[in-house]
Amino acid sequence: MTAQIIDGKRIASELRARVAGEVTRVKRDHELTPGLAVVLVGHDPASQVYVRSKHKQSQEAGMASFEHVLPENVAEADLLALVTRLNRDPLVHGILVQLPLPKTINTEAVINAIDPAKDVDGLHPSNAGRLAGGFAALSPCTPLGCIILSKSVHASLEGMNAIVIGRSNLVGRPLVQLLLNENATVTIAHSRSRDLKHLSARADLVYAAVGRREMVRADWIKPGATVIDVGINRLSSADGKTRLVGDVAFAEVAAVAGAITPVPGGVGQMTVACLLVNTLRAACAIAGLPKPGV
Ligand SMILES: Nc1nc2c(c(=O)[nH]1)N[C@@H](CN(C=O)c1ccc(C(=O)N[C@@H](CCC(=O)O)C(=O)O)cc1)CN2
């Protein structure tokens, strides 16, 4: 194996420590306690794990954490009423509705109901539009994490050829905008793109976010390229245990790439750390304070 393994766990832990330092400062100097509200609908086991982790990590960073768990069959009107209450609550600076939502609920209507100033997921059309326009915006957490991990390898992404494989609103599309803001040259590809392998093999930076396990193979990668794997695919083994694999065939790609993120221990680790960054930034902006130093 030749590639440098990008340690998402360490980088996320350092970021959380910096957020905690800034939270201590705004509490002390401005009597401001950033508050994060997370809404979980239903009992999807993976979502429960992620929500628990958001609660624990925001508390460890010194923030106020508010958790709202609603039943799977909650009426959309009741969920919207909760979002409206959180929009008005002065102790809440960040609102996140855990996705996916049950099929009976219109996800777009729920996201649109969140006050853009508190939209720490960066999914409201106002934030997505601002990001696309190159204006200051709250940006989705996983793409922010991808940029931080990329910059742990390359001080600047300027002029690099990047390919983003996947075009979801949560990852692919905002990641393209963040890469453009870094002055990278970006190709956006997806499952229906022709000749994905050759498009990918030209790139200095490969972001795999398609949700198809181990789809990116060694012959898709230019020697020395940096590979950021956003995929989290759960595989059940014969002994009943589950194992996580990414969208990249890790072992064979690591033999060709210059740097690569593991799954687990890569991008996933950054998602919650970046949520804390967004909550701190939202709290400072709502309180009329300058942008924090993280
Ligand atoms: N409203 C949102 N919903 C979802 C988001 C999101 O950003 N906003 N992202 C994902 C889930 N997610 C956070 O919500 C998330 C995914 C992965 C991890 C993580 O720490 N992964 C670990 C492995 C953890 C495991 O064993 O499952 C890793 O990769 O090392 C944290 C958060 C979908 N929903």
| Distance of alpha carbon 103 from alpha carbon 168, whole angstroms | 17
In a domain, 75, yes or no: yes
pLDDT of 142? 98
How far, CA to CA in Å, does 66 sit from each of 93, 137, 263, 269? 11, 23, 29, 21
Tell me the pLDDT tens digit for each residue of 31-69: 999 999 999 999 999 999 999 999 999 999 999 999 999
Span 228-248, pLDDT tens digits: 999 999 998 888 899 999 999
Residue 67: which CATH number? 3.40.50.10860
CA angle 48, 166, 7 (to 5 degrees): 60
Domain limits for position 52: 31-115
Residue 234 lies in a domain: yes
Asked whether residue 147 falls in the same domain as residue 71, the answer is: no
What residues flank ligand 1, with Cβ below 6 Å?
46, 49-50, 96-99, 121, 141-142, 170, 232, 244, 263-265, 268-269, 271-272
Q: Can you give the CATH number for the domain in which 205 is found? A: 3.40.50.720
**Residue 56 a catalytic site member:** no
Q: Domain check: are 164 and 260 in the same one? A: yes
Q: What ipTM goes with this model?
A: 0.98
What total of structural domains would you count in the chain? 2
Write down the catalytic residue from 57, 118, 119, 121: 121
Question: Which residues lie below 8 Å from residue 60, measured CB to CB, with a gap of 6+?
Answer: 16, 20
Of 79, 99, 115, which residue is a domain's last? Answer: 115
Does residue 239 sit within a domain? yes
Residues 172 and 252 reside in one and the same domain: yes
Tell me what pLDDT residue 1 has.
Answer: 62
Q: Which residues of the chain have pLDDT under 50?
A: none
In a domain, 15, yes or no: no
Q: Can you give the length of the chain in residues? A: 294
Q: What is the DSSP letter of 119?
A: B
Ligand 1 pocket, mutate which of 242, 244, 271 (most atoms under 8 A from CB):
271
- In a 3-state reduction of DSSP, which class is residue 129? helix
Q: Are residues 186 and 108 in the same domain?
A: no
Does the model's pTM come out above 0.80? yes
* SS3 state at 107: helix
Q: Are 105 and 76 in contact, with CB atoms under 8 Å apart?
A: yes
Q: What is the DSSP string of 200-245?
A: HHT-SEEEE-SS-TT-B-GGGS-TT-EEEE---EEEE-TTS-EEEE
